[in-house]
Chains A and B, each alone.
Chain A
Amino acid sequence: MYAIVAGGGKVGANITRSLLAMGHEVTLVEQRRDRFEQLEAELGPVVLTGDATEIFVLERAGIARPPDLVLAVTGDDEDNIVIAQIAQDGYEVPKVVARVNDPRNQAHFDLLGVTRTLCATSGLLGLVEHEVPEHGLVKLLELRREGLEVVELSVSPEAPAAGKRVAGLSLPDDVRLVSITRNGVAEVAGLDTVIRPGDQVIAILKPGLEDRLRKALVG
């Protein structure tokens, strides 16, 4: 596989190291001269200096081949959007992933057609909520392209679902229970699975149905 990584910060440099270790061909583009020299000393000719939002720089990196994968992981969200748009709209790169530095910019990425995104802040926040579930419902995964999300809920003793079979719950149409974890052991949820207090339930659903799922399951 051939990949272009735009941005040689901690994220870009580590992704490049991993891709190289897996035997992939990579070009890493870094704009800052001192950082470029550091990376070149370590990684050699796979590192290219230049502004990855300039089309001629991307062309020198081989964007016209096109690569199988472009990762726009600079520390600037506008730059990442532009790199992703040039890669997907200008060169039909099959897979483009962009880093969202400021989660408040996520809506801009979505609006402008940059659909595969990663946001460390939102991811960390999800992990924090996973440890400290304040709202009773934790988002584990957002499948933005598919328009689905995977969430987890804890069933308390007073929850309306406690003691009921899955088939007996009044769940909205676009919600399915996936698994139930009890005392650290997970099993796939079927219609006959009985929900007990203390269970951790994982569900898949269309975004927007979280509240109805929460009401049906944990009250």
Chain B
Amino acid sequence: MKVVIVGCGRVGSGVAKQLAVQGWDVTCIDEDEGALARLGEWRGGFVVGHGMDVDVLERAGIAEADAAVVATNGDNTNVVVGQVVQRRYNTNCVVVRVLDPARAAFYAERGLRTVCPTQTAIGTLIDVVRSCEPTPVGTG
């Protein structure tokens, strides 16, 4: 199985390394050549360039990819690149990181698989605070 990861920052590189360990054929794309250092001993592919550039996507093998993860540090870049990959290459599984919960919800309603770390953090923080509430006593 082949996956292309657009944006090799903390999130992208982390996903790349774990999927590679699990046997995926992984290629990362990042504008910064230095991002390769985040991957450690890397046997997968790495293409320097911007995800908006279809030549870069194609050099990374997007046309043959089973999945794509779009996780640059720009929400708008991610939703645009995600939609381009989905529509232009009919990639089966495209997942996009969107930090803004409102934009994540907007694009999720329109068929893009979005992951919103902000929303996850909000939910987790609320759960932790609520777990600190004293348990009601003698209500039975």
Asked if A89 and B52 sit within 8 Å, CB to CB, the answer is no
Chain A residue nearest in CB terms to B80:
A78
Q: Mark A100-139, 1 if CB is under 8 A from B, else 0.
A: 0000110110011000000000000000000000000000
Identify which of residues 53-74 in chain A touch chain B, using a CB-to-CB cut-off of 8 Å.
53-56
Contact A76 B76 (CB under 8 A): yes
A82 near B100 (CB under 8 angstroms)? no
> Which of chain A's residues has its CB closest to B51's CB?
A78
A108 and B110 within 8 A (CB):
no
Q: Establish whether residues B103 and A82, one from each chain, have CB atoms under 8 Å apart when the complex forms.
A: yes
Q: How many residues of A contact B (CB 8 A)?
A: 19
- What's the minimum C-beta distance from B14 to chain A, rounded to whole angstroms? 23
Which residue of chain B is the closest to A102 with respect to CB atoms? B52
* B interface SS class: helix
Residue from A54, A55, A81, A89 within 8 A of B80 (CB atoms): A81
Query: Is B106 among interface residues, defined by CB-CB distance under 8 A?
Result: yes
Q: How far, in angstroms, from A112 to B107 measured CA to CA in the complex?
A: 12
Contacts of A79 in B (CB 8 A): 76
Measured in the bound complex, the distance between the Cα atoms of B89 and A114 in whole Å is 19
Number of A-B residue pairs with CB-CB distance less than 8 Å in the complex they form: 44
Is there contact, CB below 8 Å, between A108 and B84? yes
Q: Is B110 touching A89 in the complex (CB atoms < 8 A)?
A: yes
With a cutoff of 8 Å between Cβ atoms, the chain B residues found around residue A89 in the complex are 110
A152 at the interface (CB under 8 A from B): no
Does the CB pair B76–A112 fall under 8 Å?
no
Q: Which residues of A contact B100 (CB under 8 A)?
A: 54
Residues 71-92 of chain B, each 1 if its beta carbon lies under 8 Å from chain A, else 0: 0001111011001100110000
**Cross-chain contact B79 with A82 (CB below 8 angstroms):** yes
Minimum C-beta distance from B85 to chain A (A):
11
- Which residues of B, 63-122, contact A by the 8 Å Cβ criterion? 74-77, 79-80, 83-84, 87-88, 100, 102-103, 106, 110
Contact partners of B102 in chain A: CB under 8 A:
54-56
Measured CB to CB, the closest approach of chain B to A112, in angstroms, equals: 5
Partner of A112, one of B53, B74, B80: B80
Q: Decide if B76 touches A53 in the complex (CB within 8 Å).
A: yes
Docked complex Cα distance between A81 and B103 (Å): 13
A55 surroundings in chain B (CB, below 8 A): 102-103, 106
**B-side interface residues toward A, CB under 8 Å?**
52-54, 74-77, 79-80, 83-84, 87-88, 100, 102-103, 106, 110
6 pairs from A and B in contact (CB 8 Å cutoff): A53-B103, A78-B52, A78-B76, A78-B80, A82-B76, A90-B106
6 additional contacts (CB under 8 A) given A55-B102, A82-B80, A107-B54: A53-B103, A79-B76, A89-B110, A90-B106, A104-B53, A111-B87
A residues lining the B interface (CB < 8 Å): 53-56, 76-79, 81-82, 86, 89-90, 104-105, 107-108, 111-112
